[in-house]
Amino acid sequence: MTVISTTSPVAPSNVAPAPSKYAFATLAIHAGQEPDPHTGAVIPALSLSTTYKQSAVGVHQGFEYSRSGNPNRADFETAIAALEKANYALAFASGSATTATLVNMLPGGSHIVSVNDVYGGTYRYFTKVAPNSNVKATFVDLFDPTNLRNAMQDNTRMVWLETPTNPTLRLVDVRAIADIAHEFGAILVVDNTFLSPYFQNPLELGADIVVHSCTKYINGHSDVVLGVAAMRDAQIYDKLKFLQNSIGAIPAPFDCFMAHRGLKTLHLRMRQHETNALAVAEALEAASGLVENVIYPGLPSHPQYELAQRQQSGFGGMVTFRIRGDLATADRFLQNVKLFTLAESLGGVESLCELPAIMTHGAVSAEDRAVLGITDNLIRLSVGVEDTQDLVQDVLQALQAAVEANPSA
C-alpha cells in the first residue's frame, strides 16, 4: 500500500506549496518528490493501478480512479506548478490534448484571438476542430500589442500566444497583451514551450494559464509526448480539472514518471542549450558571406533584444537563419550537417535541424508563409547540449559545403 501525502483528502497533491523560498534548481529536484514513506524509496514508484482502495465509502487517500488522479501525474503536476510559479498544474496526453481541453472551457459562440504564427497543430485545432463547437479564432500579428485591441470582439473569451514564435522567433510583450485581454474580460493563455519555465514565467507577466508541450524541453530527451497547463486561479483550475477528467486526455503514469525525471535536469540543460545556441548564432552571424541573416533573441541584432532581456531570464536553444541561396542550398546544408539530425520537433539534448517551409510549416499556404517570413532558405536549429565547439564547427563546415556548391554563388 502506498500512502500519498496530500494536504487534505479534497485537495489533490498537485497543489504547489505556497510561494517557495527555494530557487528553481532546488524545486526542480525536490518539488513533488517526497521519498515513499513506507519503503523509503527515494524515487516514488511507478503507480500503474487503475483504482484505489477506499477504507469506507468515499474515504480514500486522495486517489480513486487513475483517470481522475494518479500519483505519478500528481507529483509531476506539483513540480510544474512550483517551477511555473503557479498554484496548480494539470498534465495531459500531449501539448495538443492540452490545447483541446483548454478550448473546451469556452462556451459555444466564443471567440479566440491567437497570435498569427502560432504552432501549426494549434492553428489546425483552432481552424478545423474548434468551429465544430461553434468556437472561432482570428489570427493577429501581436508583435504590436495595439493590434489586439482592434481584434477583440464582445465574445472574445481567450487570447492565445507563443513567445518566441515558431520558427521566426518573434517576441510578444506578454504584460502588454495581458493588460488588454483583461480589460476586455478575456483570459490570456501563453504557450511557453520554447523557453521552458527556466527562462520565462508567463504567469508572473500577467498570463492566466501557461501551457507546455513537455514533449520538448521539459522532458528534454525526445522520448515522451506529454502536455501540461499551469495556473494560479482556483476557478480556472476547477474547470480544467473537471475537463481533464471528463475528456480524459490524460498521460500515462510512465510518461509522467519519465517527464518528471527529465524535468529534474531542466536548469542544467537549458543553460547549456543557451550557451550553445548563442555560440552557433554568433558563428552564423560572423559568416555573413554565407548567411543572409540570423534570428536569435540573445543577439543584439534581434529587433526585440530589449524585450527579450526584460521579459525572459535567458534566450533559449532555438536559432533560425536564412542561408544565402535557395531551397536547394538549404537542403544541401541540412544534408551536410553531421551532428544536427534532420528531423521535426525540438528541445531534446540532441541537436536537430529542419526546413520549416517544407517540414513543420508545409501545411501553411505559400501566401501565409510569405507574410510570416518563412522563406525557402529559412533553416531552424534546435541546438542541443553537445560540445559547443563541435556544434559550431559542424554548422560552419555544412555552410561552406552548401553555399560553395551553389551554382549561382
Ligand X SMILES: *Cc1c(COP(=O)(O)O)cnc(C)c1O
Residues in the site for ligand X, rule: CB under 6 A? 94-96, 119, 121-122, 162, 166, 191, 193, 213, 215-216, 225, 227
Report which residue type is found at 61.
Q
Q: Is 216 a catalytic residue?
A: yes
Q: Which is nearer to ligand X, 223 or 326 (CB)?
A: 223
CA distance 55 to 111: 46
Asked if 274 contacts 136 with a C-beta cutoff of 8 angstroms, the reply is no
Provide, rounded to whole angstroms, the least separation between the CB of residue 26 and ligand X.
Answer: 27
Cis-peptide, bond into residue 131, ω within 30° of zero: no
Q: Is 268 exposed, middle or buried (0-12, 13-18, 19+ CB in 10 A)?
A: middle
User: Please, what is the minimum distance in Å from the beta carbon of residue 105 to ligand X?
Assistant: 17
Q: Measured between alpha carbons, how far is 81 from 108 in angstroms, rounded to an integer? A: 29
Catalytic residue list contains 67: yes
Nearest distance from C-beta of residue 120 to ligand X, angstroms: 8
Question: Which listed residue (67, 124, 136, 239) is catalytic?
Answer: 67
Q: How far is the CB of 191 from ligand X (least distance, A)?
A: 5
User: Which of the following is catalytic: 216, 232, 324, 380?
Assistant: 216
Pairing relation of β-strands 187-191 and 156-162? Answer: parallel
Cβ–Cβ < 8 Å for 159, 113? yes
Which member of 75, 117, 173, 191 is catalytic?
Answer: 191
Query: Nearest distance from residue 121's CB to ligand X, in Å?
Result: 5
Which of these is catalytic: 52, 88, 119, 217? 119
- Closer of 70 and 122 to ligand X (Cβ): 122
Buried b / exposed e along 245-267 (16+ C-beta atoms within 10 A): eeeebbbbbebbbbbbebbbbbb
User: What are the Cα distances from residue 94, in Å, to 99, 182, 215?
Assistant: 9, 28, 7
Length of the chain: 409
DSSP at 34: P
Whichever of 200 and 215 has its CB closer to ligand X, that residue is 215
If the CB atoms of residues 255 and 394 are measured against ligand X, the closer one turns out to be 255
Bridge partner list, 185:
none
In the bound state with ligand X, the residue whose beta carbon lies nearer, of 6 and 116, is 116
Q: How far apart are CA 132 and CA 72, in angstroms?
A: 34
Min dist. Cβ of residue 89 to ligand X (A): 15
Q: Which of 96/304 has CB closer to ligand X?
A: 96
* Active-site annotation, residues: 67, 119, 191, 216
